[in-house]
């Protein structure tokens, strides 16, 4: 089994983090707390970019160790698989490299190399220290819905903010696997490690420790256990606190060491590991480090495997979402406090997707997120502690994603659509840089999913608009209604433009590469094919959310009259899709100077689509 080699630079960097984290105890006064946060932030800036002398090389699948060993003398580097998963993932690392840029330039010329880059370091976001000994709750427990008997549940304002009591009546995440990529989880009694009491009875799936290269992903920091508790803390057990998806299964995957830092190589392999070993959702409450192609590819890999990846936006309080949350395939999460407004530490920006409770301890210790975790000074000791941060907001979203999968959501696209449709709009805007699509609402997201019915709203809009179009055509020019409805040339484009072939993923869900892209495209309605062409951005492309495609095709119908029924169906499909998008106040559109322009854009283009459909479906135009 390969062992990680730690250089003097690694040790020094980790000690900087440890010194900053230990600068004052959790219950210290305000001035010392401010000093601690400043120290952590300084250390994080030191760690934020690259490990000195470290590189990571991702080889194409099937590249053997014997092959890259033969190239090492030419490259002037000694590469080793990053972990036991290396033979499968192709991820290798080297440390103590002299001229990193020169070595990478040589390596990148080899056609067997998918990517080669400096080894980056990511960490627990700063300012997430614990506060223990909470006495008061911020509000009384509502009796409306399912109320667990956990004695400290009244202190969990965060669960009531996202309407968990009513959401629990519908789903609790049963059968869904959530991988927690973090400092590990206190999930077992092993050597000095002890399972925290409020995780007893929770289901666990075998994970992996990528820091120490073994199968015991135990927590020696406390952050990962706290995050896991928000997802699936044992609930209604008469002890401690509750979790969001308490019937889900947790997969502990350790990627951060006891100082709270880890490498891009470990995180990338862990993402692939989780996707390959049955995870439905991946939670990454970590950040920094800048862009890594190895990690970006891993996120894309997981998404193509049907896994929802959720990550923290960052705690820098600036208008820039950190990686890995900023990767197109990840759901980026900002944090709000008990007041429901963005916490001052929470990062935000154009890549943001959604906001969730992360805590704001300016409003007192009760303003934090309370969960059972370990005392980092004694891994065998259990404590109840309140943390604040986007790390705490992220597991709320990951857990609600688990509830959606348990209710039948078929993949990341459908999960995200329900999450965003159910989110509470902030300032009555469809999307903002501070809150994304809005504040997480578990109950509304489950309602937006609505079982299988959620796939069909735009279809019903299209059929209603079809009736309107046909009734507005003068009597002698009306086509036979039945003749229109049963023609495949009309119906197929209508379905493709409104709901897509949503069942395609269940048939071809394992497809990858170009085939996977084709399946993804067929799975989505035609206006959402922009996600395949332009990437899964956070804003919809207005060229696709418009009448442009039907309009361009209608010019062909001037000469080729036989295609008019198809263009009529397509136009009505677009009209139905755009009408539903406008009615649901989603999505926000890219390139719009003001968010409020999205609604008139959708309405105007719906009207243009109806005019095109009317022209295409008149009797004199039929064949």
pLDDT tens digits, residue range 415-462?
A: 998 999 899 988 777 789 999 999 999 999 999 886 444 457 788 899
Q: Do residues 401 and 415 make contact, with C-beta atoms less than 8 angstroms apart?
A: yes
Q: Is residue 125 part of a domain?
A: no
Q: Decide if pLDDT at 473 tops 70.
A: yes
Q: pLDDT by residue (tens digit) across 481-528?
A: 667 777 889 999 999 999 887 655 545 544 444 555 555 555 678 888
Same structural domain for residues 62 and 158? no
Boundary of a domain, candidates 92, 120, 148: 120
d(CA 308, CA 333) in angstroms, rounded, equals: 13
d(CA 127, CA 93) in angstroms, rounded, equals: 30
How is 300-365 classified by DSSP, letter by letter?
Answer: HHHHHTT-EEEEE--SS-SS-PPTTTTSTTEEEEEEE-TTSSBPTT----TT--EEEE---GGG-G
Q: Do residues 47 and 17 make contact, with C-beta atoms less than 8 angstroms apart?
A: yes
CB-CB neighbours of 72 under 10 Å? 13
Same structural domain for residues 289 and 426? yes
Same structural domain for residues 332 and 478? no
Same structural domain for residues 246 and 175? yes
Q: Is residue 365 part of a domain?
A: yes
What letter would DSSP give residue 214? Answer: B
Q: pLDDT by residue (tens digit) across 313-370?
A: 999 999 999 999 999 999 999 999 999 999 999 999 999 999 999 999 887 778 999 9
Same structural domain for residues 499 and 393? no
Q: Is residue 335 part of a domain?
A: yes
CATH of the domain at 172: 3.40.50.200
Range of the domain at 542: 456-621
β strands within 37-112, DSSP E: 50-59, 80-81, 91-94
CATH of the domain at 89: 3.30.70.80
Same structural domain for residues 592 and 515? yes
Q: Is residue 16 part of a domain?
A: yes
β strands within 60-105, DSSP E: 80-81, 91-94
Same structural domain for residues 82 and 165? no
Q: pLDDT by residue (tens digit) across 182-229?
A: 999 999 999 999 999 999 999 999 999 999 999 999 999 999 999 999
Q: Is residue 126 part of a domain?
A: no
Same structural domain for residues 220 and 363? yes
Residue % of the chain over a pLDDT of 90: 64
Same structural domain for residues 244 and 166? yes
Which one, of 309, 304, 307, lies nearest residue 284 by Cα?
Answer: 309
Q: Is residue 22 part of a domain?
A: yes
Which one, of 231, 226, 244, 242, lies nearest residue 150 by Cα?
Answer: 242
Same structural domain for residues 313 and 248? yes
Same structural domain for residues 430 and 480? no
Q: Is residue 261 part of a domain?
A: yes
Same structural domain for residues 43 and 183? no
Boundary of a domain, candidates 96, 120, 144: 120
Q: Is residue 68 part of a domain?
A: yes
Boundary of a domain, candidates 390, 418, 449: 449
Active site amino acids? 182, 223, 391
Query: CA 310, 316, 321, 322 torsion: positive or negative?
Result: negative
Q: For the chain, what is the domain count?
A: 4
């Amino acid at each position: 089994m390969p062992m990680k080699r730690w250089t003097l630079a690694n040790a020094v960097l980790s000690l900087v983090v440890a010194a900053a984290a230990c600068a004052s105890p959790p219950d210290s006064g305000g001035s010392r707390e401010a000093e601690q946060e400043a120290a952590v932030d300084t250390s994080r800036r030191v760690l934020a970019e690259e490990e000195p002398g470290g590189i990571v090389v991702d080889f194409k699948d099937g590249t053997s160790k014997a092959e890259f060993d033969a190239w090492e003398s030419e490259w002037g580097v000694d590469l080793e698989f990053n972990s036991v998963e290396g033979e499968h993932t192709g991820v290798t690392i080297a440390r103590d490299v002299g001229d990193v840029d020169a070595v990478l330039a040589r390596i990148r010329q080899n056609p067997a190399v998918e990517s080669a880059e400096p080894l980056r370091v990511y960490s627990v976001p700063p300012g997430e220290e614990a506060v223990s000994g909470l006495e008061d709750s911020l509000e009384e427990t509502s009796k409306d819905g399912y109320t667990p008997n956990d004695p400290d549940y009244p202190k969990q304002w965060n669960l009531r903010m996202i309407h968990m009591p009513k959401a629990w009546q519908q789903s609790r995440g049963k059968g869904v696997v959530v991988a927690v990529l973090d400092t590990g989880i206190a999930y077992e009694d092993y050597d000095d490690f002890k399972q925290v009491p409020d995780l007893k009875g929770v289901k666990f799936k075998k994970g992996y420790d990528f820091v120490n290269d073994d199968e015991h992903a135990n927590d020696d920091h406390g952050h990962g256990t706290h995050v896991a508790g928000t997802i699936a803390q044992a609930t209604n057990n008469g002890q401690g606190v509750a979790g969001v998806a308490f019937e889900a299964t947790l997969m502990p995957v350790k990627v951060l060491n006891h100082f709270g830092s880890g490498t891009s190589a470990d995180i990338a392999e862990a993402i692939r590991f989780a996707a390959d070993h049955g995870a439905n959702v991946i939670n990454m409450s970590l950040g920094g480090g800048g862009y890594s192609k190895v990690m970006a590819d891993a996120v894309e890999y997981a998404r193509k495997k049907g896994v929802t990846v959720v990550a923290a936006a960052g705690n820098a309080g600036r208008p820039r979402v950190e990686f890995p949350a900023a990767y197109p395939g990840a759901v980026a999460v900002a944090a709000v406090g008990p007041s429901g407004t963005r916490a001052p530490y929470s990062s935000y920006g154009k890549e943001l997707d959604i906001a969730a409770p992360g805590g704001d301890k300016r409003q007192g210790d009760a303003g934090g997120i309370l969960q059972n975790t370990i005392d980092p000074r004694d891994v065998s000791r259990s404590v109840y502690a309140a943390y604040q941060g986007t790390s705490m907001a992220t597991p709320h979203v990951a857990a609600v994603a688990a509830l959606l999968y348990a209710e039948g959501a078929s993949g990341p696209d459908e999960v995200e659509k329900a999450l965003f449709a159910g989110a509470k709009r902030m300032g009555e805007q469809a999307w903002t840089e501070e809150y994304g699509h809005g504040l997480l609402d578990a109950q509304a997201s489950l309602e937006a999913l609505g079982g299988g019915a959620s796939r069909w709203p735009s279809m019903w809009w299209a059929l209603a608009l079809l009736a309107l179009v046909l009734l507005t055509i003068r009597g002698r020019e009306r086509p036979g209604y039945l003749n229109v409805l049963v023609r495949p040339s009309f119906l197929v484009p209508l379905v493709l433009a409104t709901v897509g072939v949503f069942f395609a993923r269940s048939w071809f869900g394992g497809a990858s590469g170009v085939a996977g892209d084709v399946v993804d495209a067929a799975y989505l309605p035609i206006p959402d094919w922009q996600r395949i062409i332009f990437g899964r951005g956070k804003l919809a492309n207005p060229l696709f959310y418009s009448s442009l495609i039907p309009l361009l095709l209608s010019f062909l119908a001037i000469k080729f009259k036989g295609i008019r029924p198809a263009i009529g169906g397509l136009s009505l499909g677009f009209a139905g899709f755009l009408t539903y998008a406008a009615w649901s106040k989603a999505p926000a559109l890219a390139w719009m100077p003001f968010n409020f322009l999205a609604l008139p854009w959708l309405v105007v283009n719906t009207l243009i689509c109806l005019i095109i459909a009317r022209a295409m479906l008149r009797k004199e135009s039929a064949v």
